[in-house]
Amino acid sequence: MNYYETLILCQPDGTKSCSACCGLFNFTDISRETLSRFLADGAARSSSFLTSSNITDQGDGRDIRDTTSYICPHQGLVFNKRPGCLLHPQYRNATLRNSSFFGENICSGFLCPAHALLSADHKRTIIELVDDWYLYSIAVIDPDSTAWLLDLLRDRYPIAFQREDVAKKILSGALAIHARHLNEYRGPVFYYSVSEYELGKKNFAIPCDSAANAGQIREILEIIEGNL
């Protein structure tokens, strides 16, 4: 087993990260603008919750996708303005995660479905070529669509990977298109287990219904071919 098969996708390097398991993508509006504002308010919100007896949150009363799920108030912007846990010892120099709803053991031990469903090559590719935290998170929350995109490039457009700047531009453009479609869909787009994701993905994953996604696929192909 190589390094990338065991790599944790949450904070792979100093430029991007994903906090989807903290409920970030449970808002009805999962646009970059909305999620960025929520994260930017994280420090003040986390401090407020730490001084109160309430350890749960459902997005400050905003519309959410899944009322049975959870949005942690202690997520915000950490180093290099990327999403992360404001209670994590690397951020606080203390262990405060037991002040959150799930607690330290669950938070530290959880791995989302992308860890099991993305191949080593898929993981390596998105880590190396997607630097933007928002687009990286989109790649993580819908691993089947990410695998579809990367396999499409490798099988039909291998020239895309001959120049890093071209590959980055294509992946960013394609993931931005998929992000828009995920935002237009109003059901859950992040799941905590592989079995839940396998059931839910039929509503939004690109390869599950190519007819319904024909417009999105056409846009992605235009992005690819326009940059080659």
SS3 state at 75: strand
Query: Distance between CA atoms of 167 and 153, rounded to whole angstroms?
Result: 9
Which whole-number Å values give the CA distances from 25 to 71, 72, 88, 93, 160, in the listed order? Answer: 9, 11, 20, 27, 30
Interval 156-203: pLDDT, tens: 999 999 999 999 999 999 999 999 999 999 999 999 999 999 999 999
pLDDT in the model for residue 4: 42
Place of tokens 């120099």: 93
Interval 194-228: pLDDT, tens: 999 999 999 999 999 878 899 999 999 999 999 99
Contact 110/104 with Cβ under 8 angstroms?
A: no
